[in-house]
Structure formats: structure tokens, C-alpha cells
Amino acid sequence: MASDTGFDVKRQYGFSTIAVICFVSLYLPVILLVVYSFNAGSSVAIWEGFSLQWYRSAWANDQVQDATIRSLVIAFWAALISTSVAVLAALATTRVRRFRGYSAVFAAINQPLMVPEIVTAVALLIFFAGIKVQTGYTGLGYLILAHSAFCIPFAYLPIRARLQGMDLTLEQAAADLYASSFQVFRRITLPQLWPGILAGAMLAFVISLDDVVITEFVKSAGQDTLPTYMLGQLRRVVTPEVNAISTVLLALSVTMVIAFFFVTRIRK
């Protein structure tokens, strides 16, 4: 929108050209990846005809099946745990008076967004390594906890935004009628908050499902997720099977993001 001075960025010289270049640079590689996932040959650069063989190959691959199930399990529990924590954190930072140290608490909640992911991954590696030595446990619990911690801010922000946009009149009226804090939350706040909770959970699920760096540092032997399995395949040989898996992941992520967009637009 043009400002009072008449400045409009869309009318600046070269704006359209730069915008087109940016979009082409972003989406052309993705389009090529999807196209070559249907390639009949084994090359990822030479088109040899249309075929679904690489999707069938990926579907029949036991390693892909195991990695997919493991990814979905981790993403489900990470989304559930991080969203639960995010709801409590959002309530604690929006339904109370601003307190001393509020900014520090807000920064701590959003720390994974501000610190490079590699730093978080190394910190989690060191932390969990000590626990593994002391307990001998090497299960998926570490990956679930690591993903949960990383996904908290992604779930927190849409939930907090939803809480800040809600009218407090009903909550205040319920409190005036001697409803307890839990009753106010269960009967008034939660029904209005569920679109934000659902949006936060979906965003956390997608972030966990696509994560590579933290998973690569925290996982034990035999705990490959789908992204880390694909990374391992790329180090050895590149085939259209990787393109097919990437296309399925892309479709799932886009579906979740579209659902997130529509959920966040719900007002009633």
C-alpha cells in the first residue's frame, strides 16, 4: 500500500524482475524434483519417460517404511508434548500481569528460534549422552524429547497470538459468577483457543517431521527418520527414489501448511 509520501515499493524500477527471479530460484528446483520423481530411468537429470516405478520402489523398501513410521511416531509425540507445554506457556505469558523478568521468560521460550539449530543439536547431544551413559537407555525417548523442546516455540507463537486476540469479556464474566480458574479455562478459554492449539500442533508436527540436524546429532544407531535416511542415500547414490520420497514429504508438508493457514483464519 502506498504511504502518505506516495512511495510504493511495487512501482520501483526492477521490482517485478527481482520478484520473478526470486520465485524462480525458490520453486524451479522443487518443480524439477517433483517432475523427475516420475522419471522412468535411473537418472535424475535425463528424462526417459513417465513412470511410477520409483514410488513403488520406495513403498516396497523396508528401510523407507521403518523410517517413515519412526518419523510419524516422533512427530506425533513431539507435537503433542510441545503443544501441551506451549499452551501452559502461552497462558502464563498472556493471562497474568506483566511481571519482572517477563522478557527473559519470553526469550527462553523462543530460544530455539534465535539460536542456530546446530548449537541446539550439539547441546542436546552432550546432555543426552551423559544420560545414556548413566542409564544405558538408548530408545526413541531422546529424539521425542529433543524434537519437543525444539518445537515448543513453533507451537507457542500461534497459540499466544490466538490468546491475545480473544475478547476477555466472557472470561471476566465467568470469574464474576464465581467460576474457578480451571472452569473458566475449560468452558470459556479452551473452546475459543482450539484453532490456535490445532494450528500450533500442526506446525510442530511438520517441523519435527522435516528435521534433520537435531535428529542426526541425537539419534542412536538404527534410529533413522525419513529425512536422515534420505541424507544417507544422497551420500551414497542419488536415484529418483529419493525424489519420490521428497515429493511425498513435500505434499504432506504443503497439506499441513494449507490446513494451518485455514485453521488460523477461523474466528468462531
Calpha distance 257→166 (Å, rounded): 23
Amino acid at 65: Q
pTM over cut 0.85: no
Q: Has residue 6 been placed in a domain?
A: no
Burial of residue 34 (number of CB atoms within 10 Å: 0-12, 13-18, 19+):
middle
H/E stretch holding 262: helix 240-264
CATH number (domain holding residue 158)? 1.10.3720.10
Q: What is the pLDDT of residue 2?
A: 46
Q: What is the mean pLDDT of the chain?
A: 84
| pLDDT average, residue stretch 7-27 | 80
| pLDDT average, residue stretch 217-221 | 88
pLDDT top residue among 154 and 235: 154
Q: Has residue 145 been placed in a domain?
A: yes
Q: Has residue 155 been placed in a domain?
A: yes
Contact 226, 65 (CB under 8 A): no
Task: Identify the DSSP state of 9.
Answer: G
| 238 pLDDT higher than 90 | no
Q: How confident is the model over 124-167, as pLDDT tens digits?
A: 999 999 898 888 888 899 999 999 999 999 999 989 988 888 77
Q: Has residue 219 been placed in a domain?
A: yes
Q: Has residue 166 been placed in a domain?
A: yes
Q: Has residue 198 been placed in a domain?
A: yes
Phi, psi (deg, nearest 5) at residue 39? -70, 135
CA angle 24, 49, 252 (to 5 degrees): 50
Question: Which residue range forms the structural domain that includes residue 244?
Answer: 56-264
Q: Has residue 37 been placed in a domain?
A: no
| 268 pLDDT higher than 60 | no
Q: Has residue 2 been placed in a domain?
A: no
| 267 pLDDT higher than 80 | no
| 266 pLDDT higher than 70 | no
Please tell me the total count of domains within the chain: 1
